[in-house]
Amino acid sequence: MNNSNSIGVFDSGLGGLSIARRIREILPNENLLYVADSAHGPYGDKSAAFITQRSSAIIDFLLEQKAKTIVVACNTATVSSIQELRAKYRVPIIGVEPGIKPAVFKTNTRIIGVLATTQTLKSTSFNELSSNFSDKVKIEVQACPGLMEQVEALDLAGHKTEALVKKYVGSLLERGVDNIVLGCTHYIFLAPLIRKIAGPAIEIINTDFAVAKETARRLTVANLLSSNYALGQEQFYSSGDQPTATKQFSLLWGEPVSVSQF
Ligand code: DGL
């Protein structure tokens, strides 16, 4: 294993770019590979077996490109598949889960809200995580069908997206939450809209920095941090239509980038 090999990051689509950009911020010398499985998303309405099979295909590809570690930048894939993936592959695999723990520390009403995909909310792993805190807080969950697709369509603030966010966030507010956990990496790109609708008093929690920091910690422990002085490069891949993917990635990454077919 070579330290200048890349960190491999993937998601069902663009959501994981929210985590990749944090990794880029705190690890500027690392090379990054990113796969968006946009042709097979949303994962949120798929079975765990399907998600595990897609995740394995993507990790096989990332390892062929010599990834030194894998970041599953998708809550849905993490809660559905990470145990099987860790049993199957020898590289460090870092996942992302809804930030219930930080919300528990911050809540005053003792009622916290979680926005996530249907598949995340029904998973054993999410329900075990929630039950660890059930003596301290009430956890109100809200599945958000259609929201991931709005991010994929780059509609981060249009009428349809706003109507969906109003419906989902409004439902949590009616249940008395004072914290909203963004339990899907796509929703991080909707944080400004969620803030606008929830108002300034509601704490919005996401774990993008925590995942980036955990990636740095795991690379340090495994002695795999890049020792390059040069800035790292990014290589982007998508299973979706290429011209669309190039537009999507360039907008969300914040600069023109090229995207290869996965
Ligand atoms: N971005 C993903 C997550 O964090 C999944 C969205 C989807 O594919 O439904 O859960």
pLDDT tens, residue by residue, 156-214:
999 999 999 999 999 999 999 999 999 999 999 999 999 999 999 999 999 999 999 99
State which of 12, 181, 206 you would mutate to test the pocket of ligand 1, scoring each by most atoms of that ligand within 8 A of its C-beta.
12
Q: Cα of 184 to ligand 1 centre, how many Å?
A: 5
- The verdict on whether 144 is a catalytic residue reads no
**Helices 17-26 and 208-221: angle between axes, nearest 10 degrees:** 50
Task: For residue 228, report the distance from its CA to the centre of ligand 1, in Å.
Answer: 33
Q: How far apart are CA 8 and CA 72, in angstroms?
A: 9
Res 58 pLDDT > 80: yes
Give, in order, the Cα–Cα distances in Å from 71 to each of 20, 105, 133, 172. Answer: 9, 26, 26, 30
The answer to whether the CB of 40 is under 6 A from ligand 1 is no
11 lines ligand 1 (CB under 6 A): yes
**CATH C-level class of 6-96+208-261:** alpha beta
User: Is the Cβ atom of 42 under 6 angstroms away from ligand 1?
Assistant: yes
- CB 80 less than 6 A from any atom of ligand 1: no
C-beta of residue 186 within 8 angstroms of C-beta of residue 151: yes
Q: What is the pLDDT of residue 3?
A: 87
Q: What is the pTM of this model?
A: 0.97
Question: Quick one: pLDDT at residue 1?
Answer: 64
Identical fold for domains 6-96+208-261 and 100-205, yes or no, is yes
pLDDT digits (tens, 9 = 90+) for 86-121: 999 999 999 999 999 999 999 999 999 999 999 999
Q: Does domain 100-205 have CATH number 3.40.50.1860?
A: yes
For the residues 47-75, what does the mean pLDDT come to?
98
Q: Could you state, in order of their start, the residue ranges of all structural domains in the chain?
A: 6-96+208-261, 100-205
Atom of ligand 1 nearest to the CA of 15: 1
Query: Degrees (nearest 5) of the Cα angle 180, 184, 189?
Result: 85
The residue to which tokens 């003596």 are assigned: 135
pLDDT of residue 259: 98
Q: Distance between CA 11 and CA 15 in Å, rounded?
A: 7
Q: What is the tally of helices (H) and strands (E) in the chain?
A: 11, 10
Give 53's pLDDT tier (boundaries 50, 70, 90): very high
Of the residues 9, 20, 27, 74, which is catalytic? 74
